[in-house]
């Protein structure tokens, strides 16, 4: 076992997630244990530099050049912080896997633009400040073999959750819901991953509209209210829900605009609206999961939605033949999952092993991901 | 011995230089032989994408994201082309060292900007298309240890030109002149590198102004004309010339504006102006070289200026105690030099050996340069 740190900086711009893990082996024999986790928030001026760099209007080559180094320093700070918190010295650290901050992603070529992806946070800076080897820029190689460069987490899910006894379906419930199916005794090529539809996005928009709160904490309103069957039926008739996979969706389909339309068309009590939206998320997940149930099947829920007991209980009711668990119940951390995945990918790359899942990204073949900056 | 390719794409935007070499050993024991060299010019649309990305006004994050992949494809094409020209298969190729296209360089922090450097041309794309391991992004690590990330060529010069019998001074004459001093039996830390002053820039501006030609081909005008001693004296009094090293200069000091001023102040015959400018370059080089002459000393001239016999002969006259040679006379290729340097740096990095020269870049210490994308 060696110590490693995985770094993730998501599009939500909450800050830098750093997961310190103990890791050994490779491929199916990989063993990973989370030791420490923290999120280092971005300072205001760094956040404004990132927002500028993300904007087509504000970004330019000079700002991006500088921000790449500025972020490198900050990623290094996150490594130092998580090691200090765990009382692990840099000498004990074997490697770092850094996703970088995504500035842009073009999954398919259009007009003058190539299919491409762009993450920054300079690995040489991270390497030098932490005195540790860094693996970075994981998505490019998948795109080089025809993949979309996303999703990037399935390989780690495969390694961490694969079972010889059960089919495991990992359901992440963020703004949008997405799942990864790992059939019993799966080979890597058996994995299936797609977006199931809305996660918390409609519920959250309703909470903001009716109560000026960010989300339905502990599923209180969802539990209070009554599901409206007509509205539920209309929601389940949304074309995305019955579209066959592979498929991806986003806030542009189920976000603010969609929710405002619902509120206009359905003058229901706020709690009933929230209850119905909660049931919609539960039913759309259940419908997505249904075709993959085979023998002993576990549905493992992560993301913000896993903390909503009303939602989890609705999913359980909709899938009586499935064992529904939340990440924490089986000893995993939902918030650390993506950062842990970066340590798993780096561990693969350092052993010249593959890290993408072609059935999830559309790549022609599995390849090692990322570039190595040796200390 | 293994085959390797070094790739360089300079700020002049002439295209991609690809040097196929046979290489073995490391550090002082490195042996390099140039097998094949070519320059793959940029197609018009790619060139316009690069120009956009270089411009503060036109660049944005989307264009840079796409161009990084587009350039990766083009760098790979240059590798395929140079291998085909040499009749070497990709299976025979051990590795590639790719400098990338510099989009921006901030040697010192200023205002909101970090000291940083930014080269693109995605290594994962190059790796996949050529089925070969790629080492890339050499400059960042030098900046991570406090260097300016430039010059990047001195390590390769040290390896290729170091001698136990003589002090060797490498004088590159591009638009600007720059030299690297490699004392007899030098250690890496003994190297000195700085810009000597104007290279061809003043001569070229005069040729453009008087004759609408790009440069003084074969030094014809410089030979025809007569050096004006008063003008020469004024030029040699330029503050840059007597400034102690380390020092760097650019077109902003000796370019179009500077030359126009000369033309206004000195109404001489065109050939006399060119002859005087040629002598100015020769004398400023000689003055820079003088302090480093010790025992047997060779001055090895490369770059466009090495093809100007009038200039070379003036340098010889000004340095009678030095053996003045041009790169080709000692079996090296002047135009391939930087691309060869990228193969040398990659070779170092793959063997966990250092690649920067702290006395040239100002770095606190020598470090391995670049990131490795393994095939």
Residue B188's pLDDT band (cuts 50, 70, 90): confident
Q: What is the pLDDT of residues B66-115, one digit of tens each?
A: 999 999 999 999 999 999 999 999 999 999 999 999 999 998 899 889 99
Q: Are the CB atoms for A60 and B56 separated by under 8 Å?
A: yes
Q: Are residues A145 and A158 in the same domain?
A: no
Note whether A167 and A312 are same-domain residues.
yes
- Name every chain A residue with its beta carbon within 8 A of the beta carbon of B56: 60-62
**B327: which 2 tokens?**
């790169």
Query: In B90-194, which residue ranges form alpha helices assigned H by DSSP?
Result: 123-130, 139-144, 154-161
A residues 127-146 near B, CB within 8 Å? 127-129, 136-137, 140-141, 143-145
Residue B16: beta bridge partners? B40
Strand pairing category for B31-40 and A323-326: unpaired
Task: For B121-154, write each residue's pLDDT tens digit.
Answer: 999 999 999 999 999 999 999 999 999 998 899 9
Contacts across the A-B interface (CB distance below 8 Å) = 155
* Contact at CB, B124 and A137, closer than 8 angstroms: yes
Per-residue model confidence as pLDDT tens digits over B355-373? 999 999 999 999 999 999 9
Q: Nearest CB to B104: which of A62, A106, A136?
A: A62
Same domain assignment for residues B345 and B261: no
Instruction: Compare all CA atoms of chain A with the CA of B367 and give the residue at the minimum distance.
Output: A375
Distances (CA, A) of A197 to A175, A281, B352: 9, 7, 48
What phi and psi, each to the nearest 5 degrees, are found at residue B82? -70, -30
* Count of C-beta atoms within a 10 Å radius of residue B4: 27
Domains identified in chain B, total number: 2
Q: What is the pLDDT of residue B157?
A: 94
Do B175 and B241 fall within a single domain? yes
Kindly list the residues from chain A whose CB atom is less than 8 angstroms away from the CB atom of residue B112.
45, 49, 66
Return the residue matching tokens 């291998």: B83
What is the distance in angstroms between the Cα of A352 and the nearest Cα belonging to chain B? Answer: 8
The low-confidence residues of chain A, meaning pLDDT below 50, are none
* Domain shared by B126 and B159, yes or no: no
Query: Are residue A207 and residue A286 in the same domain, yes or no?
Result: yes
Cα A303 to chain centroid, rounded: 8
Average pLDDT estimate for B37-54? 96
- Is the CB of residue B77 less than 8 Å away from at least one CB of chain A? no
Cα–Cα nearest to A200, from A221, A224, A228: A221
Q: Which of B367, B327, B371, B373 is nearest to B155 (CA)?
A: B367
A96 is in an annotated binding site: no
| B270-296 per-position pLDDT tens digit | 999 999 999 999 999 999 999 999 999
Give dist(CA B373, CA A134) in Å, integer.
12
Residue that has been written with the tokens 């840099």 in this structure: A90
DSSP state of B12: T
CB contact under 8 A, B54 and A61: yes
Show which of residues 17-56 on chain A sit within 8 Å of chain B, judged by CB atoms.
45, 49, 53-56
Asked if the C-beta of B351 comes within 8 angstroms of chain A's C-beta atoms, the answer is no
- Tell me, yes or no, whether A319 and A272 share the same domain: yes
A140 and A249 co-located in one domain:
no
Within the 279-338 window of chain A, which residues sit less than 8 Å (CB to CB) from chain B?
none
Domain match, A343 and A270 both: no
Q: What is the CATH number of the domain that holds B59?
A: 3.30.420.40
Which chain A residues are within 8 Å of B373, Cβ to Cβ? 141, 370-372
Q: What is the pLDDT of residue A333?
A: 84
pLDDT band at B331 (very low <50, low <70, confident <90, very high): confident
3-class DSSP state of B365: coil
pLDDT at B11 over 80: no
B195 and B297 in a single domain? The answer is yes
Residue B146 CB-density burial (10 A; 0-12 exposed, 13-18 middle, 19+ buried)? middle
Sign of the alpha-carbon torsion through B10, B16, B17, B20: positive
What is the tens place of the pLDDT at every residue in B207-253? 999 999 989 999 999 999 999 999 999 999 999 999 998 888 887 78
- The gap between the terminal CA atoms of chain A, to the nearest Å, is 20
Q: Which candidate in A57, A371, A372, A375 is best for mutational testing of the B interface (most B CBs within 10 A)?
A: A371
> Computed from CA positions of residues A260, A266, A271, A272, in that sequence, does the dihedral angle turn out positive or negative?
negative
| Same-domain status, B101 and B173 | no
The domain in which residue B366 lies consists of 2-150+338-373
pLDDT of residue A236: 97
ipTM for this prediction: 0.89
Residue B370 touches chain A, beta carbons under 8 Å: yes
Distance CA B5, CA B123 (A): 13
Instruction: Supply the pTM of this predicted model.
Output: 0.89
B12 is in an annotated binding site: yes
B352 interface with A at CB cutoff 8 Å: yes
Q: Look over chain B and give the mean of its residue pLDDT values, rounded to a whole number.
A: 95
Same domain, B36 and B98: yes
Q: How far from B157 is each of A18, A33, B39, B363, CA to CA, in Å?
A: 41, 47, 21, 18
Residue A5 backbone class (left: φ over 0; alpha: ψ -120 to 50; beta: rest): beta
């Amino acid at each position: 076992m060696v110590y490693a740190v995985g770094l993730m900086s998501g599009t939500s711009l909450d800050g830098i997630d750093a997961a310190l893990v103990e890791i050994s082996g490779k491929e199916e024999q990989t063993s990973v244990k989370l030791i420490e986790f923290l999120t280092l928030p971005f300072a205001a001026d760094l956040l404004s530099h990132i927002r500028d760099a993300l904007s087509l209007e504000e970004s330019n080559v000079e700002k991006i050049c500088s921000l790449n180094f500025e972020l490198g320093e900050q990623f290094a700070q996150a490594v130092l912080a998580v090691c200090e918190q765990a009382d692990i010295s840099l000498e004990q650290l074997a490697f770092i896997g850094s996703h970088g901050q995504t500035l842009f992603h073009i999954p398919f070529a259009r007009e003058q633009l190539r299919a491409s992806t762009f993450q920054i946070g300079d690995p040489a800076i991270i390497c030098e400040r932490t005195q540790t080897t860094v693996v970075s820029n994981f998505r490019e190689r998948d795109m080089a073999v025809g993949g979309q460069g996303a999703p990037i987490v399935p390989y780690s899910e495969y390694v961490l959750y694969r079972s010889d006894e059960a089919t495991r379906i990992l359901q992440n419930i963020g703004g949008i819901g997405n799942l990864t199916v790992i059939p019993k005794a799966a080979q890597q090529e058996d994995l299936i991953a797609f977006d199931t539809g809305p996660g918390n996005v409609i519920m959250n928009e309703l909470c903001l509209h009716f109560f000026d709160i960010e989300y339905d904490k502990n599923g209180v309103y969802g539990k209070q209210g009554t599901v409206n069957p007509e509205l539920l039926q209309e929601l389940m008739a949304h074309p995305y829900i019955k579209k066959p996979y592979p498929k991806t969706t986003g806030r542009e389909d189920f976000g603010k605009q969609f929710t405002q339309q619902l509120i206009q068309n359905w003058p229901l009590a706020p709690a009933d609206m929230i209850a119905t939206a909660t049931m919609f998320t539960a039913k759309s997940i259940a419908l997505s999961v249904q075709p993959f149930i085979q023998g002993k099947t576990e549905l493992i829920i992560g993301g913000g939605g896993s903390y909503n007991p009303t939602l989890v209980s609705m999913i359980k009711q909709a899938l009586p033949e499935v064992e529904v668990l939340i990440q924490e119940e089986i000893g995993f951390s939902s918030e650390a999952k993506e950062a842990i995945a970066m340590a798993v990918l780096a561990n693969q790359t350092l052993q010249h092993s593959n890290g993408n899942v072609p059935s999830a990204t559309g790549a022609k073949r599995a390849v090692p991901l990322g570039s190595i900056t040796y200390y």
